[in-house]
Structure 1
Amino acid sequence: MSQIRQPAVAGMFYPDDPAVLRRQVRDLLAAAESPTEPPPKAIIAPHAGYVYSGPVAASVYGRLGRARDHIRRVVLLGPSHRVPFHGLAAPSSEAFRTPLGDIPVDTEAIAGLRDFPQVQVRDDAHALEHSLEVQLPFLQEVLGEFRLIPLVVGDASYAEVREVLDHLWGGEETLIVISSDLSHYHDYDTARALDRATSVAIEALAPERIDYDHACGRTPVGGLLQAARARGLHAHTLDLRNSGDTAGPRDRVVGYGAYAID
């Protein structure tokens, strides 16, 4: 029996009932605009509970519908919230499970990372991590079948992340997804100003202008922006809100942004 990474935040960050979850994801996507532009090569999406960040995440996932027939693998990076370590953590699992089913891990691609000193196999970094998990039901709904390359990012440099992304970049069959929220626990107006500045930095492909505490996924975001800049790509802000706009009070908010890189 293959090793499966079990969901850790189903029933907390998103529904654990498959029918309820699928309906919620579809409703979020239906409420988001679906532009006719070609789907992006890479996206940045938030990772809070769906009631808070789901509408913002749907703003960028809605761009992927036309890519359903050709995206066959997803490189998914998000920050570690629970386990401190250096570098990037790959799983030994052969699949990641959500209430919507199992997603096969691209074990061949994972094996191909063994020569990168910054990559290590650490199932403990994946076991309770939500930053990757909350992206999966959206990906399952918009893409259908695909293979997953999930990497949790710890204490790493932008260059270390970029090196791995460059190796995994691929062609139109590969989507890069970076999971990150923005500022945390400021008042509403302060958060809006900070998050606007972060969005300007992302659009400029200038990770050096993103303060450490203004995006929890700053490191994987930075690696992506460096890789995008080297390829002459562009970043676009599709949505920028915070928990005060979606489902929470405005005295201590968390910022959420959705970005497309193409």
Structure 2
Amino acid sequence: MRFQATRPAAVAGTFYPADASRLRAQVAEYLAEVRVDAAARPPKMLVVPHAGYVYSGPVAAHAYARLAPWRRRIRRVVLLGPTHRVAVRGIAAPTVAAFDTPLGAVRIDRDALTALADLAQVVAHDAAHAAEHALEVQLPFLQCVLDDFALVPLAVGHVTPQAVAEVVERLWGGDETLVVVSTDLSHYLPYDQARAVDTATVQHILQLDPALDHEQACGATPLAGALLVAKSRGLRPRLLDVRNSGDTTGDRRRVVGYCAIAFAAADGGDAADGGDRALGRALTRRARNAIHGALALARVDEPQHDALQRPGATFVTLQRGGELRGCIGSLEAWRRLDDDVRRNAHAAAFRDPRFAPLQRHEVDALRIEVSLIGASHALAARSEAEALQALRPGVDGVILEWRGRRATFLPQVWEQLPQPHAFLAALKRKAGLAGEFWAADLRIARYGVRKFTETMHA
């Protein structure tokens, strides 16, 4: 059978611009605000929001920006989201040949949908797709960050997560296939309540826990099914952004929550976290050798890793007997990751002004921790109260700047200072300011880290 029909764009002009040039410029602007970690692994699955672009576009961009390095490799996108307007018993597949947007038509992978024909939970249902925005709003982002790709759009209605997982497993494919789950988080709660609910929901997702309900996420069913597969396949989630419409538009009375999460396999395979372990060994052993070399001690083997040749930023933290022994790092990726970790390890051991240079007798008991620093993002905080509300304890590394004074705390510092007010006050003091200081031109940014630890004799 040859399929000719095209589903026209239903929410162009409302959820996103209907003019192609304006749409492309808006997506490009959101993507330009995101700096991708040079050591990031290619994502196999993304969780993204689906509100109007002015509300959730900046959050979604954090996920889609990670696809650009793999734009030629990803040739098929399996896109799952909830049904908002038409009740469906099962998982709705379209019969059309393409989905249209102002940027052009996206062809449907009819062969993939045919391969699902024997599954009772998959039903042909064009009406479920006709006005559905949850899938459509993802397409312009995908069109901007990928080259030629085919789409498998599935609108998930009343069905079990296990039934969704069965479909995802069948479509899993290899490196050419990306799975995208479209969901918002809490709906129409006051700002502070929404932040608390969404933080708990995100923790469930990061723990690959499918026990989600539709109060936590409107796309709870497709998300739960995808999480079942992610767990069985050994994917590792990474939180890229979590905000709500109060953060993106300023109206905090009744907000909708959004998150962007990437799931990646280890070194392109399905082992649980071997990719991070390999990178961690490569980084910590280079840090160790930088210290050993300066003290004329024997070197250890250094495994190779592709990320080492790309720009990267690290902090190297040294501890001895549970006490800090040195910490020096970079916040900007301006040199090769290989060079950055070696230089920061040497500086932490011998040039941290708070400590005497490391001695040979201290090396055996030394604990080395390397934090790989992600891109920083400015907080749009007009007051200290807004800054404190925006900070995510246990998640954010924080940079504070004011008129030439600058200081940072890694996310690990939250373990000693779990309250945002105390955390920020201590960061101000580190920058040479009073703990209660605030100024209109004071700037705060946050960043994430991937942390790797290894003892000197491991």
Q: TM-score, normalised by structure 1?
A: 0.98
Matched with 2:11 is 9
Matched with 1:168 is 171
**1:39-188 map, 5 Å:** 39-188=42-191
Q: Is the 8 A contact 1:38 1:66 kept in 2?
A: no
- Code of the aligned partner of 2:137: V
Q: Is the 8 A contact 1:78 1:153 kept in 2?
A: yes
Shift of 1:212: 2.6
Q: Deviations over 1:20-79 (max 9, x none)?
A: 000000000001222221221000000000000000000110111111011000000000
Supply the distance in 1 between the matched residues of 2:51 and 2:67 (Cα, whole angstroms). 20
Runs of 4+ in 1 over 4 A off after TM superposition: none
Q: Percent identity?
A: 55
- Code of the aligned partner of 1:99: P
Matched with 2:251 is 249
Supply the distance in 2 between the matched residues of 1:178 and 1:12 (Cα, whole angstroms). 22
Greater C-alpha Rg: 2
Supply the distance in 1 between the matched residues of 2:227 and 2:17 (Cα, whole angstroms). 32
- Code of the aligned partner of 2:12: A
Supply the distance in 1 between the matched residues of 2:6 and 2:225 (Cα, whole angstroms). 28
Shift of 1:248: 4.3
Supply the distance in 2 between the matched residues of 1:216 and 1:33 (Cα, whole angstroms). 28
Supply the distance in 2 between the matched residues of 1:213 and 1:169 (Cα, whole angstroms). 28
Supply the distance in 2 between the matched residues of 1:45 and 1:135 (Cα, whole angstroms). 8
Considering Cα pairs closer than 8 Å and 6+ residues apart, tell me whether 1 or 2 has the greater RCO: 1
**1:20-31 map, 5 Å:** 20-31=22-33
Q: Is the 8 A contact 1:96 1:105 kept in 2?
A: yes
Which sits farther off after the overlay, 31-40 or 119-128? 31-40
Supply the distance in 2 between the matched residues of 1:192 and 1:47 (Cα, whole angstroms). 18
Q: Is the 8 A contact 2:92 2:155 kept in 1?
A: yes
1:226 to 202, 225, 228: 228
Q: Is the 8 A contact 1:244 1:253 kept in 2?
A: yes
Q: TM-score, normalised by structure 2?
A: 0.56
The answer on 1:190 being equivalent to 2:193 is: yes
- Flag structure 2 segments of 5+ consecutive residues without an equivalent: 265-458
Q: How many residues align?
A: 261
| Aligned CA-pair RMSD | 0.9
Shift of 1:237: 1.1
Supply the distance in 1 between the matched residues of 2:80 and 2:253 (Cα, whole angstroms). 30
